[in-house]
Structures are given as C-alpha cells and as structure tokens.
Amino acid sequence: MASNTGTTRKPVYLAVYETLADWEPGHATAQLARAGYEIRTVGPTREPVTTVGGLRIQPDLALADVRPADACLLILPGADLWDAGDELAPFARTARAFLEAGVPVAAICGATAGVAREGLLDDRDHTSAVSFYLAATGYGGGARYVEADAVTDGGLVTAGPTEPVAFAREILRLLKVYDDEAVDAWYGLFHDSDAEAYAVLEKAGVL
C-alpha cells in the first residue's frame, strides 16, 4: 500500500533551535515530505538558528504561534541546549500541550531528557540513549524505561541519538504513512541495507 493520501493533511512541525543535531530528524522528515506531508519548522522565534553541523535555518513559525490543532505531529530533535539549562523547556511544555490535545510528539536524543523533565515519560514506556541519562533528570519514569531502538506509547515516540532510522520508522507507523509491510521494508533497507526490501518498496510505491 502506498502512502496515506487524504485530501487534506495537516503539516508536521519540526522544532529547530541552536545546536540542533542535524542527522536525527532527517530520515523522518525526508520520508514524510516524499509522502506528501508539509514540514514546517518551528523556532524559539522567527530568528534564524544554526545546527550543530553549521546549517542555518530560518524558522517558518515562532513557538508562541504554534497551536496543536494546526499540526499532525511535533518532532523534537536533540540539541546540546537540552542539557545546558532551561532554554528549550518551552518546547517540552509545548509537547505536553500537543499530547493533551491528542496530537502525537516524537522526541529523540536530548529531547527525551526535555520531555522527561516535563513529566511526560513518568507514565509512558520510553527509551533514550541510556537509562542513566534520563535518570539524571530526576524524573519519575525510570521503571518504564525500555532497552529498545525506539518506543511509542501514548502518542509519544522516543529514541536515542544513534537510532534516527528507528525513530523515523515509529513516526511512519504512528501516522500510518505506509502499511506495516512497507514500513518494515523501509526500515530493513535503510537500517540493515537489505537489498530485498527494494522490491517491496517499489510495489508499495514508496521508492
């Protein structure tokens, strides 16, 4: 089955901020865009930000102007700033607002610590880089930590910094962009270099 092709599709919001880890959301945003989703960048303000890789991004929206009802997903990439103070805490609070409104959120790497501090992992299964990284936040969800490449629970996707492909896989599943066979094949191709996945993806209209 090819991509989910509803006539009206809300955009995906990608949070962008200084020191953003370029590689973490790339598989997800590229595949979503290829499937017809609009990707809109959300910064602390409309001022340009620079990623850890030196890319300069002009946000489409300021965080203050974001409303959960206007999007189908909020992606929070990692960044050095997540572990350097409270500058990105407003993004974690926005994640809470999205989840409370029934709009999913995907957090990877340092963003998992941000949503942990916000209390969003206390009652959800989740993962991150390592368990003690999240334990250092003082959050209350340690018993729900899962040793896995990526986890989805309660509309919240989490993954560690070395798992951008698994992170994207969970997002594709969550939004029902492709059927399960196509998502598994996509993951097999990009994570495991499985050449046999090409046939499945071509049949599904993914490639």
What residues are annotated to the active site? 109
CB neighbour list of residue 28: distance below 8 Å, 6 or more residues apart: 75, 106, 164, 167, 168, 171, 172
What the block records as the tokens of 66 is 């974001």
Going through the chain in order, the beta strands assigned E by DSSP cover 12-15, 39-43, 49-50, 56-57, 61-62, 73-76, 105-108, 150-153, 156-159
How is residue 36 written in tokens? 């017809």
Q: Is 122 exposed, middle or buried (0-12, 13-18, 19+ CB in 10 A)?
A: middle
The residue behind tokens 């960044």 is: 79
Bridge partner residues of 26 (DSSP): none
